[in-house]
């Protein structure tokens, strides 16, 4: 059982309690007020359920406190119940390591500095995966990040994240792979409250720039050659958001919507996204080999895009799933399907090629979580 199910069960239990006369809290009008619950996982508040699922086998201790006096003594008097969850890994940590807070336990204030237990924090931070592997580690000085924050993804791939504060209080940061190659850069300009985010290809050329300001968002996309492929703006107006796109983008989207791929390619023969769209159209029509050809064309047109290698890795799975079990898989279904069909009919040579492609797609220059999770799983079963 995962944390999500445990939390849901706890919430159901609380709802049942509120139906009882002696546990219901009523306001002046006699209506029942909503109870306030808090979940603490390894001493950190759980504000949202994380993508990493906590399994029952990883839990070392779990207890829910509902007694008002006990909650008050613990400093949680404003809550109706607090559930404390500790992983087995956390319970085994030394007292020294337990005293090092995770990033989640730091409190960011309006001055862009981080506090811990009410004081501006100076010291180490370490975050762990539920398995015990290190997720993040870094150092703060007077509430500001000092040096790079080391981050390890689910495959153990290291990335480095830096933040700096200018004299004008502008913030900027960059994320790099372990070799120092930048894949993401951002800057927050305080006077105009403008956030500029830039994403990069492995060769250092810009892939996408997003400019977010108080009036809306401007997004521009490029090929690694420097050719701009898309530009759009989403502006806030009194009548609601309005989106403006270039004529090229609007024309392409209109053609793809009605499956006019040949016409779209005639206008933009070098745009790999059109070939990718056609590949998925051909998959729907069970034209597996032709779909693979289109994805190969994507790679030949833009070899710097790691996601195209990930898309190619999925093609043998789509084909084998249909011929083996009549399943027409979608991208989000691939991992679950392979977990239930470990003996899928894919030859060893193709399996090797799949893993090579997924390795490229699982790196920091791709943000697609499907490829990262699939690569991790297939490695674990020696696919």
**Choice among 27-36, 66-75, 223-232 with the minimum mean pLDDT:** 27-36
Q: Under 8 Å CB-to-CB from 224, ≥6 apart: which residues?
A: 201, 203, 205, 207, 302, 304, 305
Share the mean pLDDT of the chain. 86
Pick the CATH number of 249-380 from 1.10.1760, 1.10.1740, 1.25.40, 3.40.190: 1.25.40
Model confidence at 214, pLDDT cuts 50, 70, 90, reads confident
Residue 213: pLDDT above 90?
no
Per residue in 19-51, pLDDT (tens digit) is 333 433 444 444 444 568 899 999 888 765 565
Q: What is the pLDDT of residue 48?
A: 58
Per residue in 142-200, pLDDT (tens digit) is 998 999 999 999 899 999 999 887 665 678 999 999 999 999 999 988 777 789 999 99
Round to whole Å and give the CA distance between 193 and 216: 11
Q: What is the pLDDT of residue 244?
A: 80
User: In the structure encoding, which two tokens stand for residue 292, read together?
Assistant: 């693979």
Residue 112: pLDDT above 80?
no
Per residue in 289-344, pLDDT (tens digit) is 999 999 999 999 999 999 999 999 999 999 999 999 999 999 999 999 999 998 89
Q: How far is CA 78 from CA 22, 47, 70, 81, 121, in A?
A: 19, 16, 12, 9, 25
Q: Flag whether the pTM goes above 0.95.
A: no
Contact 355, 378 (CB under 8 A): yes
Residue ranges of the domains in the chain?
A: 3-91, 95-191, 249-380
Contact 2, 9 (CB under 8 A): no
Q: Which of 108, 107, 144 is nearest to 123 (CA)?
A: 144
Q: Under 8 Å CB-to-CB from 151, ≥6 apart: which residues?
A: 135, 136, 158, 159, 160, 161
């Amino acid at each position: 059982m995962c944390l999500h199910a445990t939390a849901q069960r706890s919430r159901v239990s609380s709802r049942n309690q509120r139906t009882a006369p002696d546990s219901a809290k009523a306001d002046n009008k006699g209506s029942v007020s909503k109870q306030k619950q808090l979940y603490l996982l390894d001493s950190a508040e759980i504000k949202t359920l994380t993508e990493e699922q906590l399994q029952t086998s990883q839990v070392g201790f779990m207890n829910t406190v509902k007694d008002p006096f006990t909650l008050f003594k613990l400093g949680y008097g404003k809550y109706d119940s607090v559930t404390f969850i500790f992983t087995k890994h956390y319970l085994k940590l030394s007292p020294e390591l337990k005293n090092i807070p995770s990033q989640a336990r730091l409190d960011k204030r309006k001055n862009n500095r981080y506090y811990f237990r009410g004081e501006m924090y100076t010291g180490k931070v370490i975050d762990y995966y539920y398995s015990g592997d290190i997720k993040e580690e870094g150092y703060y000085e007077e509430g500001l990040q000092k040096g790079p924050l080391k981050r390890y993804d689910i495959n153990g791939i290291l990335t480095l994240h830096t933040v700096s504060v200018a004299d004008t209080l502008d913030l900027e940061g960059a994320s790099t792979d372990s070799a120092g190659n930048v894949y993401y850069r951002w800057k927050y300009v305080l006077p105009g409250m403008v956030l500029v985010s830039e994403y990069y290809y492995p060769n250092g050329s810009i892939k996408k720039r997003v400019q977010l300001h108080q009036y809306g968002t401007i997004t521009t996309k490029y090929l690694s050659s420097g050719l701009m492929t898309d530009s759009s703006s989403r502006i806030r107006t009194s009548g609601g958001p309005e989106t403006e796109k270039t004529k090229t983008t609007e024309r392409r989207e209109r053609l793809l919507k009605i499956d006019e791929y040949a016409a779209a390619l005639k206008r933009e023969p070098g745009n790999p996204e059109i070939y990718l769209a056609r590949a998925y159209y051909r998959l729907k029509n069970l034209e597996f080999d032709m779909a693979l050809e289109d994805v190969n064309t994507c790679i030949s047109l833009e070899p710097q895009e790691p996601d195209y290698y990930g898309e190619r890795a999925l093609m043998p799975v789509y084909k084998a799933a249909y011929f083996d079990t009549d399943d027409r898989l979608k991208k989000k279904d691939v991992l679950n399907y392979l977990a239930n069909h470990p003996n899928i009919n894919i030859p060893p040579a193709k399996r090797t090629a799949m893993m090579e492609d997924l390795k490229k797609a699982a790196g920091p220059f791709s943000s697609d979580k499907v490829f990262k999770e699939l690569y991790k799983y297939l490695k674990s079963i020696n696919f």
